[in-house]
Structures are given as structure tokens and as C-alpha cells.
């Protein structure tokens, strides 16, 4: 009696629109590739070629490494996020009442990121290498009792990449490099389902609205009732390929310029949408005979951005212990204009518009050769967020413009063995969210919050020449 097409779609959107918040992993690229570069806020890394991490930043730099090198690195990313409720409400179709739940959502944790790079020369003018790293990733876990639970409870995205590369020295002035990448992506997204809102959506399509709403009330299925909330999650995996190119130009013995390009990669993540329904909600679904909110296969597409990096490294001729570094990197986040989840069941597809923008990351840094064994590093970076503003931001990992403050050092233990460590504090402005999910119509939850967050990164790497 309640299977009205409009009610079916509204019910699905109420449950699933927030699952698509994967997109708001805040420009979800990870630049943490090597601890030596972290100490400079990765300034100049497409030109420096200081160690085997040049594989990621500019493969042309491999011909500047005289020996075979193995680099093993790790980064610990500590994040602290607090989201306060600034008037979030249930959907307007159900009265727009305030969302009940904890008024502060927190997401604190430490995430490890590994890097492995190997480079080997093939004569004087040719070199090859292979890397294993994580170029994209994000994660959050707010629990299922906070006020934003209908928007997000848990999110995770991880893209692991294997990147074999080759480099050729055209001349002492000019070097080129190229690589192919095999990427494996996996994602998990979860949120609470407002079972009461779905019940009232069904009731609105009933021939006897008042009687149907009374049945909802008697079952405890009223909008925003945490006791009858259900859970929705989506998991998916994908394998895809990409490529990268690089070139270096050395106009003088003290100056090196670098340019590097990474192509965008399209991923189709295939997996399962899972619904864990509360007992009264499952009874409702069984009573109306609907095929909605049943677990089954689904998929979504994600495209990572193309990037272009321009770098310069300059050693002062009258004080060659000091090297100055700079970088500007452009990221094509406009490829991420929407996210569509498609189901192979009766569950209607769900669309969330992103409208992300292309952005720049600019950085400057320096290396100071304190002694034969010790190098000191410092750097500063400004990193734009691709999210256009509060109306397109969600708590999945809420991006905003950020500033990097970095320091580090390198220690040459022996001719064959060296160590690098780096530390970065990332300052992020207080960030508003005012997202009504307009493409979802009157069934959408209005999320209004204020985010206070920052991050710290501690990195270390071991370099072995042999």
C-alpha cells in the first residue's frame, strides 16, 4: 500500500545521500612520499633528486643517482577534528526539527603511510626504478551517536600504487623520465539511516496518511529517533592504470629546474551496499513488501586528478652549503564534479554533486649543509582545498585551505647508509559546513556545523646505497 514511486525515491535518498560523502575527503591526495622532502614541505621536489623518492616526484631525477638505492619510509599522520552543531535539522518535508544526538563529533587518530622506492643505474645515461606508495587516501570515524550520523559515521579510502619508471640522460643539460602505475583502490562509507523518516515518507504516499503515520508512531519509527536508527554502508574495490612523465633541465651547475606530470586515473569501484535494519524498521519493510533497503551489489566511479608540478632548486654559488627550493603544483580536481552510486537492485541510484575546482599548492624551502654528515631542512607551503565552499562540504573529511610548517634533518651515517626525519604541522582555518544536499530534494538532512581541525605529520626514512 505504501509503494509510491516518489516515496520510494525519497526514502532511498534520505538513507543513502550521505553515503556518497567519500568525495569530501578534502582533496584526498596524499603528498607524503619520502621523509627528506617533508622537511622542506616538499618544496622543489620535482627538481631536487636527492634520493630514490624522486621516482614519485619526477622520474627523470633517477639518472642523477650514481648508485643503486633502496629507500624505506613511513609517515605517521595525526589528525584532530571536532565538529560542533550549528543548527542541523531533519528534512523540511518532515518538519525540519533539530537533529537529536551528541552536539560535537570528534575524529582523532593516527594513520601510518608507507613508502618503498628502489632505483638502479644502467650505465651513465639510463636508470630504472620501482616504487610502492599510497598517493590517495582518507578516513574518519565519528561513531553512530553524534548529530551528523545521518551524514557520516565512518569513511575510508585507500589507493595503493606500484609505479615502475625509467629515465634517460639526453645530455648534461636535459634529462627525461616516464612511468606507468598500477593502482588498487578500496573504499568503505557508512552512515545511520533515519528509519522514522523513511516510515513517514512511505506514509505520505499512503491512501490514508493519518493512519499510516499513526502506525509509524506506534512502532517508534518517528523521524530522528536514535533508538530505531538503521545503518547503511557501501564497500567497493577497483584496479586501474595510469602514467607519469618528467623532465629536468640544468642550466647551470647550481640550478636545476623540474617539471612533472601525472595523468588522472579512472576507478570503477564495485562492491556491496549493506543495510543493517533495526527490528521495527525491518518489520515495516516486510509488511509493505518493498525491495528497498536490501543488501546487494553496487558501484561508483571516482577519477583522481591530473597534476602538473613545476620546481626549482638553486644552490647559492657564494655559499654552496645553502640550497633554496620552490614548487608550484596544479591539480585538476574539476574531474570530480559529481559522485553517482548505482545499484543492481530496486534501490534507486543516488547522485551527489561535488562541483570541485582546480587548485594550486605552492611551497618554498631550504636545505642547509651544517656539516659533512648533517643537513638541516625547513619549508612552508600553502595548499588550496578543491571544495568550493560550505554548501558543498561534508564531514567525511572536511577540506579547507591549509598551511604547512615543516622542519627536518638528514644524517649521513656512512657512505652506504643515511637517515632522514621530518615533522610538519598543518594549520587549517575554522571551517563551516552548510550543506542542504539540494540535488536530494526535500528529503535531505540539513547539515550545519563548524569544524576545528589540525594535523601533524612525523616521517622517517632509511636510505641504503649498494
Q: For residue 408, what pLDDT band results from cuts at 50, 70 and 90?
A: very high
Pairing of strands 296-304, 447-465: unpaired
Q: For residue 101, what pLDDT band results from cuts at 50, 70 and 90?
A: confident
Q: For residue 440, what pLDDT band results from cuts at 50, 70 and 90?
A: low
Query: pTM, whole model, 2 decimals?
Result: 0.90
- In this predicted structure, the answer to whether residue 19 has a pLDDT above a threshold of 60 is no
- In this predicted structure, the answer to whether residue 202 has a pLDDT above a threshold of 80 is yes
Return the percentage of the chain with pLDDT > 90, whole number. Answer: 66
- In this predicted structure, the answer to whether residue 16 has a pLDDT above a threshold of 80 is no
Q: For residue 443, what pLDDT band results from cuts at 50, 70 and 90?
A: low
Q: For residue 23, what pLDDT band results from cuts at 50, 70 and 90?
A: very low
Q: What is the pLDDT of residue 17?
A: 39
More confident residue, 56 or 440: 56
Pairing of strands 265-276, 296-304: antiparallel
The CATH code for residues 5-465 is: 2.40.160.60
Q: What is the pLDDT of residue 184?
A: 98
| Burial of residue 23 (number of CB atoms within 10 Å: 0-12, 13-18, 19+) | buried
Of 372, 424, 374, nearest to 402 by C-alpha is 424
Rg (CA), the chain: 25
Give residue-wise pLDDT tens across range 127-143.
999 999 999 998 888 88
Pairing of strands 174-193, 165-169: antiparallel
- In this predicted structure, the answer to whether residue 227 has a pLDDT above a threshold of 60 is yes
Write the CB contacts of 173 (distance below 8 Å, at least 6 apart in sequence).
249, 250, 251
- In this predicted structure, the answer to whether residue 185 has a pLDDT above a threshold of 80 is yes
Mean pLDDT of 376-396: 93
Q: What is the pLDDT of residue 2?
A: 32
More confident residue, 16 or 263: 263
Q: What is the pLDDT of residue 441?
A: 61
| Burial of residue 414 (number of CB atoms within 10 Å: 0-12, 13-18, 19+) | exposed
Q: If DSSP states are collapsed to H, E and C, what string results for 209-254?
A: HHHHHHHHHHCCCCCCCHHHCEEEEEEEEEEEEEEEEEEEEEEECC
Q: For residue 204, what pLDDT band results from cuts at 50, 70 and 90?
A: confident
Q: What is the pLDDT of residue 275?
A: 92
Q: For residue 256, what pLDDT band results from cuts at 50, 70 and 90?
A: very high
Give residue-wise pLDDT tens across range 29-76.
999 999 999 999 999 999 999 999 999 999 999 999 999 999 999 999
Q: For residue 21, what pLDDT band results from cuts at 50, 70 and 90?
A: very low
Give residue-wise pLDDT tens across range 339-354.
888 888 888 887 878 8
Worst-scoring range by mean pLDDT, 155-159, 273-277, 442-446?
442-446
Output the average pLDDT for the chain: 89
| Burial of residue 371 (number of CB atoms within 10 Å: 0-12, 13-18, 19+) | exposed
Contact 257, 249 (CB under 8 A): yes
Amino acid at each position: 500500500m505504501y509503494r509510491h514511486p516518489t516515496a520510494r525515491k525519497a526514502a532511498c535518498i534520505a538513507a543513502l545521500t550521505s553515503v556518497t560523502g567519500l568525495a569530501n575527503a578534502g582533496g584526498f591526495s596524499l603528498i607524503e612520499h619520502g621523509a627528506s622532502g617533508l622537511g622542506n614541505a616538499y618544496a622543489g621536489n620535482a627538481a631536487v633528486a636527492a634520493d630514490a623518492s624522486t621516482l614519485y616526484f619526477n622520474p627523470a631525477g633517477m639518472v642523477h643517482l650514481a648508485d643503486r638505492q633502496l629507500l624505506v619510509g613511513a609517515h605517521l599522520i595525526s589528525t584532530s577534528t571536532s565538529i560542533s552543531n550549528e543548527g542541523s535539522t531533519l528534512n523540511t518535508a518532515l518538519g525540519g526539527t533539530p537533529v537529536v544526538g551528541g552536539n560535537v563529533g570528534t575524529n582523532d587518530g593516527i594513520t601510518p603511510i608507507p613508502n618503498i622506492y628502489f632505483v638502479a643505474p644502467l650505465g651513465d645515461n639510463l636508470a630504472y626504478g620501482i616504487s610502492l606508495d599510497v598517493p590517495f587516501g582518507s578516513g574518519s570515524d565519528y561513531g553512530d551517536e553524534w548529530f551528523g550520523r545521518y551524514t557520516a559515521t565512518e569513511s575510508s579510502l585507500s589507493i595503493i600504487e606500484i609505479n615502475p619508471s625509467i629515465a634517460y640522460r639526453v645530455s648534461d643539460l636535459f634529462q627525461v623520465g616516464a612511468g606507468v602505475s598500477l593502482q588498487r583502490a578500496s573504499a568503505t562509507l557508512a552512515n545511520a539511516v533515519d528509519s522514522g523518516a523513511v516510515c513517514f515518507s512511505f506514509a505520505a504516499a499512503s491512501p490514508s496518511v493519518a493512519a499510516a503515520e499513526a502506525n509509524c508512531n506506534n512502532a517508534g519509527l518517528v523521524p530522528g529517533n536514535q533508538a530505531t536508527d538503521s545503518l547503511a554502508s557501501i564497500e567497493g574495490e577497483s584496479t586501474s592504470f595510469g602514467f607519469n612523465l618528467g623532465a629536468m633541465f640544468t642550466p647551470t651547475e647550481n640550478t636545476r629546474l623540474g617539471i612533472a606530470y601525472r595523468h588522472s586515473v579512472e576507478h570503477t569501484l564495485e562492491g556491496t551496499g549493506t543495510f543493517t535494519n533495526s527490528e521495527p524498521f525491518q518489520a515495516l519493510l516486510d509488511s509493505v513488501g518493498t525491495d528497498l533497503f536490501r543488501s546487494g551489489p553496487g558501484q561508483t566511479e571516482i577519477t583522481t586528478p591530473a597534476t602538473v608540478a613545476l620546481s626549482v632548486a638553486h644552490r647559492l654559488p657564494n655559499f654552496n652549503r645553502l640550497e633554496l627550493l620552490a614548487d608550484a603544483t596544479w591539480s585538476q580536481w574539476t574531474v570530480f564534479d559529481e559522485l553517482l552510486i548505482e545499484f543492481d537492485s530496486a534501490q534507486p541510484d543516488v547522485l551527489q554533486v561535488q562541483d570541485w575546482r582546480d587548485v594550486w599548492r605552492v611551497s618554498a624551502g631550504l636545505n642547509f649543509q651544517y656539516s659533512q654528515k648533517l643537513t638541516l631542512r625547513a619549508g612552508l607551503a600553502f595548499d588550496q582545498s578543491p571544495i568550493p565552499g560550505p554548501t558543498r562540504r561534508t564531514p567525511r573529511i572536511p577540506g579547507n585551505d591549509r598551511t604547512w610548517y615543516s622542519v627536518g634533518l638528514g644524517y649521513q651515517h656512512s657512505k652506504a647508509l643515511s637517515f632522514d626525519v621530518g615533522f610538519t604541522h598543518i594549520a587549517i582555518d575554522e571551517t563551516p559546513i552548510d550543506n542542504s544536499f539540494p540535488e536530494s530534494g526535500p528529503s535531505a538532512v540539513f547539515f550545519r556545523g563548524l569544524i576545528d581541525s589540525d594535523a601533524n605529520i612525523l616521517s622517517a626514512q632509511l636510505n641504503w646505497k649498494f
